[in-house]
Amino acid sequence: MAEKYPLNLNQIMLAEGRYQREQRALLLSPVGEMTVKVQPILQELRSQAPLVHCITNFVAMNIAANVTLAAGASPAMVHAVEEVADFTPISGALTVNIGTLSPAWVASMTKAIDAAKASDTPWVLDPVAHFATPYRAKVAQDLLAQGPSILRGNASEILAFGGGETAGKGVDSGDSVDAAETVARALAQKHSCVMAITGEVDFVTDGTHAARVAGGSPLMPKVTAMGCSLTAVMGACAAVAAPFEAAVTALALFGEAGKCADAQAKGPGSFQVAFLDALSQVQPEDLDSGGLITWL
């Protein structure tokens, strides 16, 4: 005998996606005088374990998935063009990383972004080394024009979006975070998105409000795909909070875990393992009490 109200897996997951978006709306705190507490955001992330749809590069897939799991969310590395439009709406957030581009991947990114916008799903853009080639630059500009909730990049990537000269080399930044702050504010206002610049001390702005986030370790740039993994965690935070607060929370979580891992690591290899352990062990109250965040 058939159930009166049959449910299938897709219906359940769609309901979960709606629930995550409703809970995120509850965390949209006014930020007139910036004294936001990020502790509740990490608590909510771990309580919900939101599904994060990650379209990321081949190099980053494994570490990004493990980092996202350690942070408390549920990653899914789904990039086939035939399914992204169905998968994005059942996710709490979408992240798009252009590290290993091809036309097929760009088609998937575009389709997933369209689905995210149609379903009010937040999405994060990671324009990896978009200044390196004309093809990469055009793809990144086209994706930025689609209006991400958050754009995360290093200083060279942000400066290049502003049309300036950069000292970037491949995926590595050759510019300081300070040098890109003005451009980041302008881009945030122009595209109505949050800009997060990562470096020795990170900078986040929505064009009006801003924050700096310290912490981390000098070993982080020695481990491949740490930035890509941060983008995935930023998506997880965006699934449960407003974009500005989500970006700050993800950076603070990485900053605190990086500090803890640095104290134990002997080099890049042991740092990666220690970092995963530290991510899972950071307590929500550590983010607000550790002096990591300076609200501007």
pLDDT in tens, 221-249: 999 999 999 999 999 999 999 999 999 99
Q: What pLDDT, on the 0 to 100 scale, is given for residue 7? A: 41
Contact 65, 77 (CB under 8 A): yes
pLDDT in tens, 22-49: 444 444 444 444 557 899 999 999 999 9
Query: Which range is least confidently modeled, 158-162, 199-203, 226-230?
Result: 158-162
Alpha-carbon span 240 to 145, nearest angstrom: 24
Alpha-carbon span 77 to 227, nearest angstrom: 16
27, burial (CB in 10 Å: exposed 0-12, middle 13-18, buried 19+): middle
Mean pLDDT, residues 188-213: 96
**For the chain, percent of residues with pLDDT exceeding 70:** 84
| Mean model confidence pLDDT for the chain | 88
Contact partners, residue 149, CB within 8 Å, separation at least 6: 122, 123, 124, 193, 194, 238, 243
Which domains can be identified in the chain, with CATH numbers?
Answer: 36-295 (3.40.1190.20)
pLDDT in tens, 46-105: 999 999 999 999 999 999 999 999 999 999 999 999 999 999 999 999 999 999 999 999
130, burial (CB in 10 Å: exposed 0-12, middle 13-18, buried 19+): buried
Query: Does the predicted model carry a pTM greater than 0.85?
Result: yes
296, burial (CB in 10 Å: exposed 0-12, middle 13-18, buried 19+): exposed
Long-range contacts of 261-266 (CB under 8 A, 24+ apart): 261/217, 261/219, 262/216, 262/217, 262/218, 262/219, 265/217, 265/219
Q: What pLDDT, on the 0 to 100 scale, is given for residue 291? A: 87
Distances (CA, A) of 7 to 4, 10, 22: 10, 8, 21
pLDDT in tens, 106-157: 999 999 999 999 999 999 999 998 988 999 999 999 999 999 999 999 999 9
